[in-house]
Amino acid sequence: MTSPFESDPLPARLAAGLAKIGLALRNRAWREAGGRGLTPTQGQILALLARRAAPLTLGEIARELAVTPATASDAVEALRAKRLVRKGRSRQDRRTLAVALTARGRAEARRAASWADFLAQAAGELDATEQAVLLRALIKMIRALQERGEIPVARMCVTCRFFRPHRYPDPLRPHHCDFVNAPFGDRQLRLDCADHVPAPAPDAAFVWQSFIQSEEVRP
């Protein structure tokens, strides 16, 4: 008879654990959104617009949230009817319409952005080293999913043209960001940076290899 400890490989149990966290997040999003007269997608759009400095086109919203253009369009129209967003000409391309928050939308976006705070509180139960190890592991998983086209391109340091991994011997701040011209450590690695610019393919592969060459994680 197979031992119960051998029948379930570790990757499968990790996937089950992540699925439970995903379920908690979905339940919370429906509860919070429902209480505000929104759908989770509408709340995600508000939070996304709040994170970005500039208005976004419908195509960008659909891409970032991994929804169809039709779903993004319906959600934006519903938000516009509630006077939480407005549409105007994009600054980059005057032929395109871009979506921006209204003042009322900004207040609602702040609430929507806090829906996942309960997860941050749970992560706060981990000690400093566990947090740094988990962040690095999540970055690896997100990149793997991104490479397989399972999730939209994440605006992470490890895929950014400004990221210079392991430039310094300082174990607490080995990396450098050329955008802000400052050193930083594993704990400061970003997963959704508004200033991110994707690194070109050959550089991206080199940067990734340089980043993972050191598996030692500092809290």
Binding positions for ligand SF4, rule: CB under 6 A? 157, 160, 162-163, 177, 179, 190, 193, 195-196
Structure tokens at 114: 């806090």
| 67/87 Cα distance (integer angstroms) | 19
Nearer CB in complex with ligand SF4: 143/190: 190
Structure tokens at 38: 């929104």
CB of 4 to ligand SF4, least distance (A): 43
- Tokens 């895929």 label which residue? 159
CB of 110 to ligand SF4, least distance (A): 22
Nearer CB in complex with ligand SF4: 25/151: 151
Nearer CB in complex with ligand SF4: 70/194: 194
**Chain centroid to CA 84: how far?**
22
Nearer CB in complex with ligand SF4: 102/210: 210
Burial class (CB in 10 A: 0-12, 13-18, 19+), 62: buried
| 3/100 Cα distance (integer angstroms) | 56
- Tokens 């989770």 label which residue? 40
CB of 160 to ligand SF4, least distance (A): 3
Question: Taking the chain, what is the end-to-end CA distance rounded to the nearest angstrom?
Answer: 42
CB of 152 to ligand SF4, least distance (A): 15
| 146/140 Cα distance (integer angstroms) | 10
CB of 181 to ligand SF4, least distance (A): 10
Nearer CB in complex with ligand SF4: 30/162: 162
Nearer CB in complex with ligand SF4: 147/195: 195
DSSP 45: H
| 43/47 Cα distance (integer angstroms) | 6
State which H helix or E strand residue 193 sits in.
none
CB of 212 to ligand SF4, least distance (A): 16
